[in-house]
Structure 1
Amino acid sequence: MQILTPRVYWAQRHGEIYLRVELSDAKNLDISLQENNILQFRAQGHGAKGDNDYEFSLAFLEPVRPEDYSSPLSTSSSAA
């Protein structure tokens, strides 16, 4: 399996950032906020290029308070 970058959607309000990662059947999720304001995401799942390993890093320009960080996970599906 090759490592790919999933589709990531970003939304932001004052003081809040929302990310949505387009990946279904995600397994072995590893999401962490590093001390240097970098969010790391790794998982196996089904994305735009099929079943693969997916990962990305996102560097924030402003400091992120780790105590306010949360990663609620949810899955959704839609029928065409």
Structure 2
Amino acid sequence: MSHHPEVLWAQRSDKIYLTIALPDAKDVSVKSEPQGLFSFSGTGPQGKNFNLSLELYGAISPEGSKINVGLRNIFCSIQKEQKGWWRRLMKSDGKPAPYIKVDWNKWCDEDEEESLESHMLASDDDDDDALGNGEGDESSDDEGMLYLPDLKKASANFT
């Protein structure tokens, strides 16, 4: 008899993140097909077999997808074929199975992603300015070093 592992999911405009909670998983097999079929199988603690098949809401790009098998979870980053937001994880209408839950730690709404991207672009520009672009900058061996105050002088002010 096979069991279903707990699955947490989140999305971005270009990816779906699936976290399969299965500690000490062995014989892990993950397959994804362009039309949106995703399947997982593995052996959990005490030799229990776990299987999962999902028909995802949209088409995916298996070549751009990544799988990372950790000690407690299997992390799947699935590349969407077309950038955009899916209304739900699976193609079928109705409530998803009880073992499929939203991963609120990774969840991002459309407007949050846009503001996050613009913030990241702005911070990249700030980083370029802070690091200098090499024009007229005098470099020193101390670049990137953290400034630490002289503790003897600092402690003298407190006594």
What TM-score comes out, normalization by structure 1 length? 0.78
More helix by share: 2
CA separation in 1, counterparts of 2:35 and 2:17?
19
Sequence identity (%)? 26
Kept in 1, the 8 Å contact 2:35–2:58? The answer is no
Query: 5+ residue gaps in structure 2?
Result: 74-159
Query: 5+ residue gaps in structure 1?
Result: none
More strand by share: 1
Look up the match of 1:54: 50
Look up the match of 2:66: 70
CA separation in 1, counterparts of 2:10 and 2:43?
24
RMSD (Å), alpha carbons? 1.8
What TM-score comes out, normalization by structure 2 length? 0.42
SS in 1 for 2:67: coil
1:23-42 aligned at under 5 Å gives the runs 23-42=22-41
Structure 1 ranges of 4+ moved more than 6 A: none
- Give the drift of 1:25: 1.2
In the alignment, structure 1 residue 13 sits paired with structure 2 residue 9: no
User: Max radius of gyration: which structure?
Assistant: 2
Q: Which shows bigger deviation, 67-76 or 37-46?
A: 67-76
User: What amino acid sits opposite 1:45 in the alignment?
Assistant: G
Using CA pairs below 8 Å that are at least 6 residues apart, which structure has the higher relative contact order?
A: 1
